[in-house]
């Protein structure tokens, strides 16, 4: 696929980092304001998708980054499971073992911010990977074999 | 009551689209419409007259909140619906590459 | 309330357009408008967390559906009607409508939910978890096994998509 015009490329360079920042903000304040892991992760994935759409398949260097994305996605899910199993030592599965602080602070609500972070890693990397696989797939109709 | 009726009608429209249409992309569109209808029904079960958003204001105890239980369920449901749509679209693209058409009557006839 | 009824009418008209139009790209864009109308309805029903998630998921589904539609190049042009499909759909609508009519007499009226368990979550949610957002507290502390299941289903779907669309050479 080819990229888009010069105006779109310039605006994308300016706003892709701000979209990443916004996604991280929505994830990290998910326990006292709106949002959470899923919304933040999808926003980060959409920021990267914007970059690929504006610069084209060859303009953005996407051949070298698929292995790293698979690693980040698996790391997110393993981190979520590890947080669940860590409570098993002192209590039950998924016990909230960190301290509950004051309401409205960022270091509060025990285990919930770390769970949001793990889900953000998994969802963001995974959905960007799905998009890369969809555009790299050549839809050429296979010839009939004689 | 009108919300329940609208979600019921939306579900029937989606079901008609899945059962009667002969194009794969139209069937995926019908699946998405059915999933939206179910989400609307679940959220409208938990509404309360004069309720506010379920964000707790600390130390004030006589506010009425909307029930948070269906909302937590529907967040998971939206994500699972996204997973179903992703797999369906990948399979549709693979079928187009193999048979050259999205029409399901022609897919039955070719032995490619 | 008038805005809510207007949006419900908008959603029903959008769904009818999405089902009956012949051009595939117009059908996909009509599904996009249903999703955006649904996002505003969630906001009016007091669920802002859900409205945010529904909006971004809708945008992603639109991107993926347009990619699949533009890869092919044919509209929906099947002429002729199949009797079996129409009659079985009509039968199912009658059966489903009958059951729904009986069930709707036992549902609580709109605006007065039962809330036998949700009252406990509202009263003790902040003290037991320390989280102000009640939806996040219920989703990630009281009911966190559902979240583990949802994350695993999403992971499985992504891995499945990578396997289906693999482009390596086949023998």
Give residue-wise pLDDT tens across range C125-141. Answer: 888 888 888 999 899 88
pLDDT at residue C73 tops 90? no
Determine, for residues C155 and A122 on separate chains, whether the beta-carbon distance falls below 8 Å.
Answer: yes
Which is more confident, C53 or C81?
C53
**pLDDT number for residue B87:** 95
Both tokens of C141, joined, read 């502390």
C65 CA: distance to closest CA in chain B (Å): 7
Is residue C89 within 8 Å of B18, Cβ to Cβ? no
Determine, for residues C161 and A130 on separate chains, whether the beta-carbon distance falls below 8 Å.
Answer: yes
B110 CA: distance to closest CA in chain C (Å): 17
Chain A within 8 Å of B96 (Cβ-Cβ)?
Answer: yes
CA distances from A12 to A51, B10, B62, C115 (A): 6, 38, 47, 47
Give residue-wise pLDDT tens across range C15-41. Answer: 999 999 988 999 999 999 999 999 999
pLDDT at residue B63 tops 90? no
**pLDDT number for residue C10:** 95
Which is more confident, B107 or C54?
C54
**pLDDT number for residue B110:** 62
Is residue A44 within 8 Å of A127, Cβ to Cβ? no
Chain C environment of B22 (Cβ under 8 Å): 76, 78
Q: How far apart are CA B36 and CA B9, in angstroms?
A: 12
Those chains having 3 or more beta-carbon pairs within 8 angstroms of chain B are A, C
A54 falls within a domain = yes
Q: How far apart are CA A93 and CA A85, in angstroms?
A: 6
**Owning domain of residue A14:** 6-136
For chain A, list residues with pLDDT below 70: 1, 62-64, 89-97, 99, 101-104, 139-146
Chain B within 8 Å of C124 (Cβ-Cβ)?
Answer: no
Domain locations along chain C: 1-73, 116-171
Total structural domains within chain A: 1
Q: How far apart are CA C135 and CA C151, in angstroms?
A: 17
Chain A environment of C53 (Cβ under 8 Å): 36, 38-39, 42
Q: Of A68, A81, A119, nearest to C154 (Cα)?
A: A119
**pLDDT number for residue A144:** 44
pTM for this entry: 0.90
Question: Binning pLDDT at 50, 70 and 90, where does residue C171 land?
Answer: very low
Closest chain B CA to residue C59: B82
Chain B within 8 Å of A144 (Cβ-Cβ)?
Answer: yes
User: The CATH number of B2-109 is which of 1.10.287.3510, 2.60.40.10, 2.40.30.30, 2.60.40.1510?
Assistant: 1.10.287.3510
């Amino acid at each position: 696929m080819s990229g888009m015009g010069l105006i779109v490329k310039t605006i994308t360079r300016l706003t892709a980092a701000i979209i990443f920042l916004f996604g991280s903000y929505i994830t990290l304040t998910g326990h006292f304001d709106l949002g959470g892991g899923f919304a933040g992760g999808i926003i980060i994935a959409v920021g990267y998708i914007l970059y690929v759409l504006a610069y084209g398949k060859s303009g953005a260097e996407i051949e070298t980054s698929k292995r790293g994305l698979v690693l980040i996605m698996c790391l997110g899910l393993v981190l979520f499971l590890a947080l669940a199993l860590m409570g098993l030592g002192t209590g039950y599965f998924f016990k909230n073992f960190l301290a509950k602080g004051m309401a409205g602070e960022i270091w509060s609500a025990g285990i919930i911010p770390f769970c949001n972070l793990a889900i953000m890693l998994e969802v963001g990397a995974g959905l960007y990977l799905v998009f890369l696989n969809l555009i790299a797939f050549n839809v050429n109709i296979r010839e009939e074999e004689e | 009551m009108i919300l329940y009726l609208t979600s019921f009608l939306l579900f029937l429209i989606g079901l008609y689209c899945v059962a009667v249409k002969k194009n794969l992309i139209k069937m995926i569109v019908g699946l998405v419409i059915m999933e939206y209808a179910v989400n609307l029904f679940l959220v409208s079960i938990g509404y309360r007259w004069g309720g506010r958003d379920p964000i707790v204001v600390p130390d004030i105890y006589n506010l009425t909140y909307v029930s948070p239980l269906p909302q937590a369920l529907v967040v998971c449901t939206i994500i699972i619906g996204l997973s179903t749509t992703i797999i369906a679209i990948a399979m549709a693209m693979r079928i187009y590459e193999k048979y050259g058409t999205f029409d399901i009557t022609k897919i039955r006839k070719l032995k490619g | 309330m008038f805005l809510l009824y207007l949006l419900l009418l908008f959603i029903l008209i959008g769904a009818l357009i999405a089902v009956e139009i012949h051009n595939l790209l117009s059908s996909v864009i009509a599904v996009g408008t249903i999703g955006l109308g649904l996002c505003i309805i969630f906001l009016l029903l007091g669920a802002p967390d859900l409205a945010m998630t529904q909006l971004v998921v809708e945008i992603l589904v639109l991107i993926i559906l347009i990619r699949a539609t533009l890869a092919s190049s044919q509209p929906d042009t099947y002429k002729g009607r199949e009797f079996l499909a129409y009659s079985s759909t009509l039968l199912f609508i009658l059966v489903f409508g009958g059951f729904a009519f009986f069930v709707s007499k036992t549902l609580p009226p709109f605006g007065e939910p039962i809330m036998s368990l949700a009252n406990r979550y509202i009263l003790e949610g902040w003290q037991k978890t320390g989280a102000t957002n009640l939806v996040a507290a219920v989703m990630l502390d009281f009911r966190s096994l559902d979240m583990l299941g949802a994350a695993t289903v999403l992971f499985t779907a992504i891995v499945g998509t990578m396997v289906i669309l693999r482009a390596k050479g086949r023998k």
